[in-house]
Every structure is written in C-alpha cells, then in structure tokens.
Amino acid sequence: MTALMRCAWANADAQMQHYHDTEWGVPVRDARELWETLMLEGFQAGLSWQVILRKREAFRAAFAGFDPVAVADFGPEDVERLMGNAGIVRARAKIEATIRGAQIYLEMQARGEDFAEYCWSFTEGRTLRGTGVATQTDLSTRISSDLKRRGFKFVGPTIVHAWTQAVGIVDDHAPGCFMRSQAAKPDLRPAAA
C-alpha cells in the first residue's frame, strides 16, 4: 500500500495530520466559521498553529462557540475570566481583539455585508493556487489592509495569509500533496519584497 503524500508540516503528529487531511485548505463558505478561524489565527501570532489546534476546543468553550452575538457582548468581567483560563492563550490584547472582531462582524452584518461574501470577494469566489512557500502575498496584504481599515486587530499580512490557506481561499498544499486541488486558479504570487 502506497502512503499518501502530504505537506511536510502535517507529519508533526496525528492531530496535525488529521487537521491537514480534513480541514486545512478545504474551502469554507460559512461566515461564522471564517470569522472563528480568523480570530484563532490572531491568537496564533507568535506561537505555532499546533498550540492553537490543541487548545481549539477550550477556545470554543471560552468564547461561547465563537458566536459573534455572544462574544460581542463580552465585557471587562469576561476579559478577566478569559485571562484566568489556562485552557486558552491568555493574551489580553488578543482577547480584546476577538471581542472587537465580533462587534465588527455584527456591524458588517447590520450594513447588509455577509462576512463570507466579503472574504471571498477578494478572489471573486475562487480558490487561488499558492506557491506553498510564501509567508505573505499581495492578496494577504490587500485583505490585511482592508481588515485593519475596518478595525480588526492581529490581522497582519502573514496572519491573513495563514488564514487564507486554512480556509481554502488559497490552496497552498505542496505539489504532490494528495490534498492539492486541481481546480485552483494558478495565479497567486508572493508579495513584492
């Protein structure tokens, strides 16, 4: 039996392999799930995704299932509660950014903007094929700039690139990886240096 070829990072452990094989790079069209993943990518800043993945269920419990309506109502007492939660990354700025991110999500919704349509508008709804080596691209820089303009935090070009990979806006599976899509449009370029 021939072993499946995977992206090299997926071989770290069984949990990372499962994440790679079932989630990473699979196009996400659900607005709430796109927002949750963006918030988790923000928590990942300075850490490894493996750390966040191990804590993901604790994050979901702590942040009310990443229900933007519930999270938007979190106040100072919730921030303190979260700062005491050893199951998550206890970084005040990231916790506060997630609460504000929920409020922005709801503000967009109130204006008639669907977060999923917004996210996918940058690629006209298509998955782009990445190089598998870039840490940021012109696309991630453009999305990052717009997210920042809207008030989101922890959404720099590198974080946004990781997010676009995770939610399938960009197919960055390595050439030869069994998950690499043949349908992705091959036009994504790394950001200009």
- Stated length of the chain: 193
Token digits of residue 9: 């990072």
Contact 180, 21 (CB under 8 A): no
* pLDDT beyond 80 at 190: no
For residue 193, name the pLDDT band (cuts at 50, 70, 90): very low
Token digits of residue 150: 């809207």
At residue 191, the pLDDT reads: 52
Q: Which of 65, 79, 55 is nearest to 35 (CA)?
A: 65
Q: Does 117 qualify as catalytic in the annotation?
A: no
Q: Does 57 qualify as catalytic in the annotation?
A: no
Interval 87-101 mean pLDDT: 98
For residue 83, name the pLDDT band (cuts at 50, 70, 90): very high
CA distance linking residue 38 with residue 23, whole number of Å: 14
Contact 177, 190 (CB under 8 A): no
CA atoms within 13 A on the CB side of 98: 32
Pick the catalytic residue: 24, 35, 36, 49?
Answer: 49
CA distance linking residue 93 with residue 96, whole number of Å: 5
Long-range contacts of 44-50 (CB under 8 A, 24+ apart): 44/159, 44/162, 45/94, 45/154, 45/156, 45/159, 47/89, 49/162, 50/12, 50/13, 50/15, 50/16
Contact 88, 54 (CB under 8 A): no
At residue 97, the pLDDT reads: 98
CA distance linking residue 22 with residue 122, whole number of Å: 24
Token digits of residue 127: 């998955």
For residue 1, name the pLDDT band (cuts at 50, 70, 90): low
For residue 166, name the pLDDT band (cuts at 50, 70, 90): very high
At residue 189, the pLDDT reads: 45
Q: Does 105 qualify as catalytic in the annotation?
A: no
At residue 186, the pLDDT reads: 52
Give pLDDT tens digits for 11-66: 889 999 999 999 999 999 999 999 999 999 999 999 999 999 999 999 999 999 99
Give pLDDT tens digits for 108-159: 999 999 999 999 999 999 999 988 788 999 999 999 999 999 999 999 999 9
CA distance linking residue 94 with residue 43, whole number of Å: 6
Pick the catalytic residue: 24, 35, 41, 105?
Answer: 41
Residue 88: Cβ within 10 Å count: 21
CA distance linking residue 28 with residue 15, whole number of Å: 20
